[in-house]
Amino acid sequence: MSIGGGGELANAGGSFLIQNSIVANTANGGNCAGMITSDGYNLSSDSTCAFSNAGDLNNKNPKLGVLYKNGGPTETMALQKGSPALDAGNPAGCRDFSGILLKTDQRGLPRPGRGETTGCDMGAYESQTQ
């Protein structure tokens, strides 16, 4: 598996599982190539990923900001107003592949947990205001 510039996912063999992620705006002519399996709540800006699990969105503009220092140790792309990724993550809470609730986003800011009135956002960035 490789992750190229702009979000392209390519899998040359074996299997690759993805969940609660955004794959978008690749400059290489398609977001996904090879066998990519959705575990749900993913968004692709084109149809090449063919996500088909619960909560998946294909051919949707994620409305991402530019890669920027939004806080935390790495740069992220903020979700813009009206993004279909807002509150579109797993309604049981964003979890890792072991089922552990992820209480923070990539920046270390809080994500909603199970039982809260709003779901977590898809991707690495959790909007703190809607």
Lowest mean pLDDT among 29-33, 56-60, 123-127: 29-33
Phi-psi region of 82 (alpha: psi -120 to 50; beta: other; left: phi over 0): left
Answer whether residue 105 shows pLDDT above 80.
yes
* pLDDT in the model for residue 7: 46
The span from the CA of 71 to the CA of 91, in Å, is: 25
Domain ranges of the chain: 2-44
pLDDT tier, 6 (very low <50, low <70, confident <90, very high otherwise): very low
Q: Which of 82, 81, 85 is nearest to 20 (CA)?
A: 85
- For the entire predicted model, the pTM comes to 0.87
Q: Where would I find the H helices in 4-52?
A: none
Average pLDDT for residues 6-34, to the nearest whole number? 81
Tell me the percentage of the chain whose pLDDT exceeds 70. 89
